Amino acid sequence: MHRWLLLAWMTSACGGDAVSQVSPSSPASLPRVVVVTHTAGFRHDSIAVAEPTLAQLGRDSSTFDTIFCRNQDDVRRMLTPTGLAGVSAVVFLHTTGNLGIPDLEAFLAWIGSGRGFVGIHSASDTYHDAPAYLEMLGNEFETHGDQAEVEALVEASSHPAVAHLGARYRVFDEIYRFVRNNRGTVTPLLTLDRFPADGLPGAGQQGDLPLAWAKSHGTGRVFYTALGHRDELWRDTRFQQHVLGGIRGVLARQ
């Protein structure tokens, strides 16, 4: 494992195809962020809107430079010691299933060595067969009902992902239910105090449901939001700032 990390630090550039996806107009000093949109299960239509939105957010805010990892070949090449050299964070954007990362243990160790990881929406519907990944992420998707409007409670309001939202955030989206309540193992950012009116059992009843959180993995930082299913949300500036703030949060110590 230590040999893998040493090789990662010693390698000075990503593979040629990965580098070619970086905008030539982007400042060379910006942190590199790999955005993974490969899916091995259900594929969200909103990926088509989310990809350019993320790239523009990084560029306009001068926060990060985006490199896309879109298919199985990209995963095998880019989520490796060579591909991750010089990369500051990885975003799993609507990923699903087992992505086929060549060495998942080494990838998780890379995050734990001080890098950043951002999971968006179905990143929690990814690697159900890998407990170490789910532990890094902080929870596991269980199910969802109909899309619904919810009023999320903003916790840890100083975090850049939620600082702009005030005390409550009203949003209409596909609302995930998770395998467990992870309060106590993560820093909650958005939670629900009642079950959504989505047609599933318990709708409207009081509860404590996670929706977005931050956590550590080794010396690395993790941010996850369950939101982002709908195209319209990616066009909403409040949600855009939510995602941008999450990325800024995982890059903060680098």
Other beta carbons within 10 Å of 183: 14
Class level of CATH domain 2-140+213-251:
alpha beta
Q: How crowded is residue 80: how many other Cβ atoms within 10 Å of its Cβ?
A: 22
Instruction: Please state the rounded mean pLDDT for residues 207-223.
Output: 98
Q: How confident is the model at residue 81 (pLDDT cuts 50, 70, 90)?
A: confident
3-state SS, residue 175: coil
**Which pLDDT does position 28 carry in this prediction?**
58
Can you tell me the distance from the alpha carbon of 221 to that of 25, in angstroms, rounded to the nearest whole number? 28
Measured CA to CA, the distance from residue 220 to residue 40 in angstroms comes to 26
Question: Percentage of residues in the chain with pLDDT exceeding 70?
Answer: 88
The whole-number average pLDDT for the span 136-162 is: 98
* Structure confidence by residue, pLDDT tens digits, 91-137: 999 999 999 999 999 999 999 999 999 999 999 999 999 999 999 99
Coil, helix or strand for 65?
A: strand
Core vs surface per residue 193-223: b (16+ CB within 10 A) or e: eebbebeeeeeeeeeebbbbbbbebeebbbb
**How far are the Cα atoms of 38, 77, 201, 203 from residue 103, in angstroms, in the given order?**
16, 11, 39, 40
Report d(CA 71, CA 183) in Å as an integer.
Answer: 34
Does residue 10 register a pLDDT over 90? no
Integer Cα distance of 95 and 41 in angstroms: 8
What CA dihedral angle connects 242, 235, 97 and 109, to 10 degrees? -30
For the chain, the first-to-last Cα distance in angstroms comes to 22
Cβ(226)–Cβ(212) under 8 Å?
yes
Q: How far apart are CA 96 and CA 254, in angstroms?
A: 28
At 232, phi and psi to the nearest 5?
-60, -30
Has residue 240 got a pLDDT over 80? yes
pLDDT tier for residue 29 given thresholds of 50, 70 and 90: confident
Q: What angle do CA 94, 200, 176 make, to 5 degrees?
A: 20
pLDDT on residue 253: 63
